[in-house]
């Protein structure tokens, strides 16, 4: 037997998932990772905790299954994107906590860049909007704190990486400092046309190129991971979580799209080998691929997806388990005019309002727990609708179906409501761990476990297809109510 282990390092947990040749999950191990909130809108993690939990679940799954490490054909890495880590090359120690993608501390710096007229330049070169979400201003902020004159960074003594780069560096014991196209394209420093770090943007932000990693395709022989006892396993696949999911959902042709329902929601559509610079609040990113010629995707990033259910459970304590949300939502025939806009860290695509904050509308004396829970689930679907609406306006190809994955994709109420709001079928695969699967597929292609894309697609299995049932009248009424709630939430409201 041959196996691939995918290391899936997410925002709230680190997981190791073993896949066999049939793309069947053999074992899953998970450890939670802690987040820190030193100031309102700030989000941090300890890079050492990220590493310890990731390497820990890797060792746990090997111990639990008894699989001989020699039977592991390759490791794959998929990761929370944009999260920014800087460490000392000599000591291997981080110089500051990881600044998480959700962190808004550099919102004012981004606003300054826009005011100085850089919006079009950044969009054209990187495909991104100027926002605190991405890595660039996070990295500049850390350097301002620990190396204001940039002396150590210019000398190459400080290294930058997103989480994939940090894990690869640790797994290879400091021998490899690299990333892949997908993660590089999320930094707001990478030229997605020329496939290189952009010198002009680096100069604007005063970021020395010497601290940046090498960049390779997602399916690539990155280096050998040391698993102990002289066991070396190639790291052969690496991709940011959302691009990995797009690949894992076999969205390999233009017009094919997927949505991942995790902490946030991320809707990506394959647009082929010619990038489209969005005019509708979307971003253009590099999709995971198997060679040097990149494929591009339009992406709509929703900052708060499944996290709104965690908020109901952990902060408001009106849910005991996230899975209970399905039960409470179905106790009502409709939302009875209650809308929740979960702008806890601002609004992402297509609004990009860094200063919006969460709001709830339509409350009456009769509003209860079920209304709030249903409104939270519906908000996830409405936000996805807004992104898909913008995507459809810019793409020459209509989306016929939406592939879904991630933890919240297991919620039947949410998936049915999503199909109803979008008025397109929603397809849920048998394996919801599509992010990890996509990374494993990239690694497996590199080492020959699967011979080509057709071989990969032959193992795909569908769990359920959700078909729209809502009337057009109800759909329009619901969407109109949602859009009014969003309008009243935006920070620049009159």
**Alpha carbon distance 462, 429 (integer Å):** 4
Q: Is 82 annotated as a binding residue?
A: yes
Q: Is 161 annotated as a binding residue?
A: no
Q: Is 407 annotated as a binding residue?
A: yes
Check if the beta carbon of residue 6 is closer than 8 Å to that of residue 78. yes
- Tokens for 166, please give them: 């940090």
Three-state helix/strand/coil letters over 369-407: HHHHHHHHHHHHHHHHHHHHHHHHHHCCCCCCCEEEECH
**Alpha carbon distance 15, 36 (integer Å):** 20
Stretch (H or E) spanning 76: strand 72-79
Q: Is 243 annotated as a binding residue?
A: no
Burial of 469 (0-12, 13-18, 19+ CB in 10 A): exposed
- Tokens for 306, please give them: 């499944």
Residues in contact with 128: Cβ distance below 8 Å, sequence separation at least 6, in sequence order: 122, 134, 186, 188, 283, 284, 285
Q: Is 186 annotated as a binding residue?
A: no
Pairing relation of β-strands 196-197 and 98-99? Answer: unpaired
Q: Is 13 annotated as a binding residue?
A: yes
Secondary structure class of 312 (helix, strand, coil) = helix
Rg (CA), the chain: 22
For 89-157, strand residue ranges (E) read 98-99
Q: Is 411 annotated as a binding residue?
A: yes
**Alpha carbon distance 192, 439 (integer Å):** 21
**Alpha carbon distance 181, 193 (integer Å):** 11
Check if the beta carbon of residue 19 is closer than 8 Å to that of residue 3. yes
Tell me the Ramachandran region of residue 317: left when phi exceeds 0, alpha when psi lies from -120 to 50, beta otherwise. left
Check if the beta carbon of residue 238 is closer than 8 Å to that of residue 220. yes
Q: Is 15 annotated as a binding residue?
A: yes
Q: Is 242 annotated as a binding residue?
A: yes
**Alpha carbon distance 426, 403 (integer Å):** 6
Q: Is 249 annotated as a binding residue?
A: no
Q: Is 362 annotated as a binding residue?
A: no
Q: Is 310 annotated as a binding residue?
A: yes
Which residues line the annotated binding site for ATP? 11-13, 263, 306, 310, 407
Which residues line the annotated binding site for sn-glycerol 3-phosphate? 11, 81-82, 133, 241
Which residues line the annotated binding site? 11-13, 15, 81-82, 133, 241-242, 263, 306, 310, 407, 411
Which residues line the annotated binding site for glycerol? 81-82, 133, 241-242
Which residues line the annotated binding site for ADP? 11, 15, 263, 306, 407, 411
């Amino acid at each position: 037997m041959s196996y691939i282990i995918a290391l899936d390092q997410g925002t709230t947990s680190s997981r190791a998932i073993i896949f066999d040749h049939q793309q069947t999950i053999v074992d899953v191990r998970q450890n939670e990772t802690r987040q820190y909130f030193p100031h309102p809108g700030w989000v941090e993690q300890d890079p050492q905790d990220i590493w310890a939990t990731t390497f820990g679940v890797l060792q746990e799954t090997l111990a639990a299954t008894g699989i001989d490490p020699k039977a592991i054909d390759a490791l794959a890495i998929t990761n929370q994107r944009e999260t920014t880590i800087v460490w000392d090359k000599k000591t291997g120690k981080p110089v500051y906590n990881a600044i998480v993608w959700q962190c808004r501390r550099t919102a004012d710096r981004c606003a300054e860049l826009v005011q100085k007229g850089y919006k079009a330049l950044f969009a054209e070169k990187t495909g991104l909007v100027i926002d605190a979400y991405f890595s660039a201003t996070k990295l500049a902020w850390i350097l301002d704190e620990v190396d204001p004159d940039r002396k150590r960074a210019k000398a190459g003594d400080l290294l930058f990486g997103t989480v994939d780069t940090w894990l690869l560096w640790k797994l290879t014991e400091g021998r490899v400092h690299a990333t892949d196209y997908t993660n590089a394209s999320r930094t707001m420093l990478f030229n997605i046309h020329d496939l290189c770090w952009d010198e002009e943007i680096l100069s604007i932000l005063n970021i020395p190129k010497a601290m940046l990693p090498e960049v390779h395709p997602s399916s690539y022989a990155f280096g050998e991971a040391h698993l102990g006892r002289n066991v070396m396993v190639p790291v052969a696949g690496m991709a940011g979580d959302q691009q990995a999911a797009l690949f894992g959902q076999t969205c390999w042709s233009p017009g094919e799209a997927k949505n991942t329902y995790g902490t946030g929601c991320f809707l990506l559509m394959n647009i082929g080998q010619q990038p489209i610079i969005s005019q509708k609040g979307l971003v253009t990113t590099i999709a995971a691929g198997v060679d040097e010629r990149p494929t591009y995707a339009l992406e709509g990033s929703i900052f708060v997806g499944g996290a709104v259910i965690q908020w109901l459970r952990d902060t408001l304590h009106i849910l005991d388990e996230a899975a209970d949300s399905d039960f409470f939502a179905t106790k009502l025939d409709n939302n009875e005019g209650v809308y929740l806009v979960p702008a806890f860290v601002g609004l992402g695509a297509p609004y990009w309002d860094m200063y919006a904050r969460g709001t709830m509308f339509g409350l009456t004396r009769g509003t209860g727990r079920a209304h709030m829970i249903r409104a939270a689930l519906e908000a996830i679907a409405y936000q996805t609708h807004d992104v898909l609406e913008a995507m459809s306006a810019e793409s020459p190809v209509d989306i016929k179906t939406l592939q879904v994955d991630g933890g919240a994709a297991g919620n039947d109420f949410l998936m049915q409501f999503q199909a109803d709001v979008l008025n397109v079928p929603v397809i849920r695969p048998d394996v919801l761990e599509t992010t990890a699967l996509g990374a494993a597929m990239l690694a497996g292609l590199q080492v020959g476990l699967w011979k080509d894309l057709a071989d990969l697609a032959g193992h795909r299995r569908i769990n359920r297809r959700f078909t729209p049932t809502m009337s057009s009248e109800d759909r329009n009424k619901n969407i109109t109510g949602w859009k009014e709630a969003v309008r009243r939430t935006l920070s620049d409201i009159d």
